[in-house]
Structure 1
């Protein structure tokens, strides 16, 4: 199978490349720095700077994960424009290119996030739950999904992966927490009651592969473990795994002053459930937070 990835050098993309290389698939990564792709993703992975470089080579699948990191910097007007362009405009470019091809892939798996729902409060969120459009992150995910779904008009099966907080020893959300916790400065954010939909990186990779090969799979899927936890429990569990206290809460006011609008990501939450994945027969390797963090602890 020939798979084209965008965002292939990111946390999830790198792991997908390793997984699919082991299965013998042919991989191409569309990247701003194609010369670095082989080193990051695997020696046999091809990097391209332009989609046109593929010519009319047969293509079976597109996995669209590209997007500038959403929590790396405060959401200035310029940053918001970059976050929007790196997701929506890039996906639009992908669709425009697909329209020119005589041979098109069968599947588009497109990234999204649990943030699609907005701050869900205490509601249990399934894929059928409506969003609460009250923040930029939700609006961004909604527009990203709507753009990707236009590929259905070109004959592609479209799968939308609403990813939660990915737990990995190689970067991402967890790596940002390590320093304060190791310095004994870790603790809950705000009141600590907000729900955190988490997922182990192994399950994230497995479910994307599962959805790729399941021909009936279409539409949105919540990519998160079936047992979300509150922020306070997450902090306490991480502290326990690292043998550090988790007693230094970050006050709500400090987060709002320091991060502005972006603080909504940290102070809000989603009690999201992977209903459609479970109904489809997907089996999670990690459903308990402590077990997931223990598995990663030796590499943190």
Structure 2
């Protein structure tokens, strides 16, 4: 298939590009850099004055939108929050414009999203059928992002919103800062320890996207989390066990709030999210349990 990826240079984008290239697909990476080609991967300029990526695309089977400023970068002041929001809206709007110009429309648009759309809770279990949404900055960003991407349906394009959980990778994502205290023999429970971490291995994220591309009956919200979320206290103890380091020094909530500001909600609050749609459609996780995932990564 011919697949267009926006945000291909990011954490998820790199893993996905590698997987799809290995599967033999022709890839077009939308980038701010000048055009180039490496094997079956082409880099086409977009979001720059005078750029017309639709001329290079002409037709494509799949569009994947991972573009946007990382929520993990920088402090969540009002200016940075606006940049996070605007970068997602602008990139999605441009993809919709490109799709509208194409004579042959893609069969599917895969759009990134996040489980942050669900309210933090210690006891509620969320599936794709859940309609209880949070009202904070992240939830509003996710909801508006999905609503914008859904406009592709006006061109009869199947649309899926991949609601990513806490993505674990060896050199990027949530895991490196989480394991650092343990490497320094200072690891311990963050906050109350009762908050849920709906985690997922980066390879299963890429595999889930490939799975949705190939399964025409999958659309709408798709929770991309491992099937067995864990509470923070258990998560930390498991890191300590895998690394053979002690789990003993607690990190109070107040300390995290002082250090991270509003962004502290990412680690002090959580949701118990289940990937029901993936499971119901036969997706098999390569790393279904936390122990297996951490042993692979660490």
TM-score range, shorter chain: over 0.9
- Per-residue CA deviation, residues 130-166 of structure 1 (Å, 9 max, x unaligned), is 2332321111111111111111011100011001111
Q: Provide TM-score, normalisation by structure 1.
A: 0.93
1:27 aligned partner: 27
Q: Output the CA distance in 2 between the equivalents of 1:116 and 1:34.
A: 35
User: Which position in structure 2 is the counterpart of 1:13?
Assistant: 13
d(CA) in 2 for partners of 1:92, 1:105: 16
Q: Which residue of 1 aligns with 2:214?
A: 213
Correspondence for 2:267: 266
Tell me, yes or no, if the aligned pair for 1:66 and 1:86 is still in contact at 8 Å.
yes
| CA distance in structure 2 between the aligned counterparts of 1:78 and 1:195, rounded to whole angstroms | 29
Asked if residue 291 in structure 1 is aligned to residue 292 in structure 2, the reply is yes
Residue 132 of structure 2 is matched in structure 1 by: 131
Between the aligned partners of 1:33 and 1:246, the Cα distance in structure 2 is 44
SS class of match (2:52): helix
User: What is the Cα-based RMSD across aligned positions, in Å?
Assistant: 1.6
Structure 1 residue 34: Cα displacement: 4.6
Q: For the Cα contact (< 8 Å) 1:11–1:170, is it kept in 2?
A: no
Deviation at 1:120, TM superposition (A): 2.9
- d(CA) in 2 for partners of 1:249 and 1:286? 28
Q: Which aligned pairs between 1:241-280 and structure 2 lie closer than 5 A?
A: 241-280=242-281
Work out the CA distance in 2 between the residues paired with 1:148 and 1:156.
10
* Deviations 1:190-228, CA, capped at 9 Å, x for gaps: 111000001112211111111100011110111011110
Q: Where does residue 46 of structure 1 map in the other structure? A: 42
Deviates more, 1:269-278 or 1:9-18: 9-18
Please state whether the residue corresponding to 2:261 is helix, strand or coil. Answer: helix
Structure 1 residue 258, shift from structure 2 partner: 2.2
| CA–CA distance in structure 2, aligned partners of residues 200 and 74 of structure 1 | 25
For 1:87, what is the secondary structure of its paired residue? helix
In 2, the alpha carbon distance for the partners of 1:133 and 1:103 equals 37
Give me the whole-angstrom Cα distance separating, in 1, the residues matched to 2:275 and 2:246.
31
CA–CA distance in 1 between the matches of 2:139 and 2:75?
A: 16
* Contact 1:189 1:252 (C-alpha < 8 Å) held by counterparts: yes
Where does residue 195 of structure 2 map in the other structure? Answer: 194
| Distance across 2 between alignment mates of 1:97 and 1:54 | 6
Extract unaligned runs of 5+ from structure 1. Answer: none
d(CA) in 2 for partners of 1:176 and 1:61?
A: 34
- Asked if the contact 2:200/2:224 (under 8 Å) is kept, the reply is yes
Question: Do 1:60 and 1:107's aligned partners in 2 also have CA atoms closer than 8 Å?
Answer: yes
- Report if aligned partners of 1:120, 1:132 keep a CA contact under 8 Å in 2: no
Which structure 2 segments of 5+ residues have no match? none
Q: How many residues align?
A: 293
- 1:43 deviates by 4.8
Q: CA–CA distance in 2 between the matches of 1:66 and 1:189?
A: 30
Counterpart position of 1:229: 230
Point out the more displaced range, 247-256 or 50-59. Answer: 50-59
Give the equivalent residue in structure 2 for 1:79: 80
Q: Give the structure 2 partner of residue 118 of structure 1.
A: 119
Contact map agreement 2:121 2:195 (CA 8 A) in 1: no
Q: Determine helix, strand or coil for the equivalent of 2:113.
A: strand
